[in-house]
Amino acid sequence: MAKSSFDYIIIGAGASGCVLANRLSANQANKVLLLEAGETDTSEHIHQLGGFTQLWGSDLDWKFTTAEQKALNDRQILINQGKVIGGSSSINAMMHVRGNPRNFDCWREQSNAGWAYENVLPYFKKIEDYEGGESPYHATGGPMHVRACPDMDARSEHFMNGAVEIGYDGPYWDYNGERQENGAGLLQFNITPDGQRHSAATAYLDPVRDRANLTITTGAEVTKILIENGKAVGVEYSQGGETKQVYVDGEVIVCAGTFVSPKLLMLSGIGPADHLQANGIDVTVDLAGVGQNLQDHLQLPVIYRSNIELPTPTLLTGNVLFTSTTDNRQGAVPNLQLNFIPAAPAPLLPFLPDFGGPVCIFLPIMVQPQSIGEVKLRSANPFDAPVINPNYLQAEADVRVFRRAVEIIRNIAETKAFGDLNGGELAPGEMELDGFIRGNVSTLWHPAGTCK
């Protein structure tokens, strides 16, 4: 075996890869290699607040497409994922939303000691340089700037006060504070004080790029983890048409995202034995969970004609309400995130039809999906995209979330506070609701799971 060059090899410079590169290289005794399939994050569209939609379908996007989704009228869904330094934190909508506290507490109840919300809250706070100042739930001085929606044109007291009028807390409820559910407020964003995206790359990687013990290599698509005697000893990757290998004394850390991570594990012989053998891959570890348990958040646009012409927002959205569609009690885990924008936002204008006048847009998001999917290899060719089947809306419970979401939206729209913006429902309008849901839901780009 060639002499090892590094103590750690990190595959993928997305959110987790950037953080790990920062933390591990803080120890000068560690030699760290960070491999990224994409290029560096120099595009102006990354850093401009409204520019990220210009990156969809570009070379900075993996452009993953699902298999035909039976419950979505056989539609295939494009899932944009960042192929660039910073990963999807360089091309997303910059919203800063913590996981629900009850989700973490459930992990503890399932014998995962140390994963209750009280245990992870200090780490959420450690991330933050919170514009609103310190509190039991927020901190300042962290690497990532967090602020309430800075785009005044994206804020909407019509929405927040309308939600209060029908019984929710607010306005200006802090969903990352004492309680996430049943309060309407402003979305929080990872945006710097001077109005730039604050990605994982700019927050964690840029300050340490010059460390002598950190090597960052772009355009390096890892094709295989090298395993000897049951231990990962290095990786093989392709760069500029050339196949290269690099070895490690310590650990290979796979941070390649929900789709590429299981693909890479399976290409390396780690995964369900029958699937690997069917693709002609020698089995190193028969691990049935690799590629399984795929879950994703879905969104559904609900559009109203507005009675007033408002300025065009720069951000995609600005206001939010978290609630449960099945249990309104405090402490119930929200299964619905309801975003709202008071006018058609600039990032979406190239993709929206001409509505013939001003509109406002509700965006219900299903955040506790019951439909479970999988990721499989298309072939043993490392450059073939994986087969992605999220099984969107296969579970009837997920459809019920959207049905109830539309009811909540209609209740808010009928309030006195919302009156100026309610010029009539355009979509779904008179359409049959289930047909509208199945024909119009799409990903919110939050796939998870697949590497158990």
CATH for 33: 3.50.50.60
Q: Return d(Cα 147, Cα 196) in angstroms, integer.
A: 12
Q: What is the token pair recorded at 212?
A: 């002598």
Report pLDDT for 80: 98
Q: Are residues 239 and 359 in the same domain?
A: no
Q: Is the pLDDT of residue 234 over 50?
A: yes
Report the DSSP beta bridge partners of residue 175.
Answer: none
Residues 305 and 423: beta-carbon distance below 8 Å = yes
Q: Are residues 326 and 340 in the same domain?
A: yes
Is residue 112 domain-resident?
A: no
Q: Are residues 68 and 133 in the same domain?
A: no
Q: Is the pLDDT of residue 2 over 50?
A: no
Q: Return d(Cα 48, Cα 4) in angstroms, integer.
A: 40
Q: Are residues 333 and 237 in the same domain?
A: no
Q: How many domains does the chain have?
A: 2
Report pLDDT for 330: 73
Residue 95, CA atoms < 13 Å, CB-side half-sphere: 19
Structural domain boundaries enclosing 414: 126-196+295-373+391-443
Q: Are residues 226 and 160 in the same domain?
A: no
Is residue 279 domain-resident?
A: no
Report pLDDT for 4: 63
Q: What is the token pair recorded at 264?
A: 């890479």
Average pLDDT over residues 234-259: 98
Is residue 268 domain-resident?
A: no
Residues 441 and 428: beta-carbon distance below 8 Å = no
Is residue 385 domain-resident?
A: no
Average pLDDT over residues 125-142: 98
- List residues with catalytic annotation: 446
Residue 145, CA atoms < 13 Å, CB-side half-sphere: 16
Q: Are residues 305 and 170 in the same domain?
A: yes
Is residue 271 domain-resident?
A: no
CATH of the domain at 341: 3.30.560.10
User: 264-320: per-residue pLDDT in tens?
Assistant: 999 999 999 999 999 999 999 999 999 999 999 999 999 999 999 999 999 999 999
Report pLDDT for 1: 41
Residues 377 and 386: beta-carbon distance below 8 Å = yes
Average pLDDT over residues 336-341: 99
Q: Are residues 350 and 414 in the same domain?
A: yes
Q: Are residues 302 and 404 in the same domain?
A: yes
Q: Are residues 140 and 52 in the same domain?
A: no
Q: Are residues 140 and 186 in the same domain?
A: yes
User: 57-107: per-residue pLDDT in tens?
Assistant: 999 999 999 999 999 999 999 999 999 999 999 999 999 999 999 999 999
Q: Are residues 401 and 336 in the same domain?
A: yes
Q: Are residues 299 and 188 in the same domain?
A: yes
Phi, psi of 304 (to 5 degrees): -120, 140
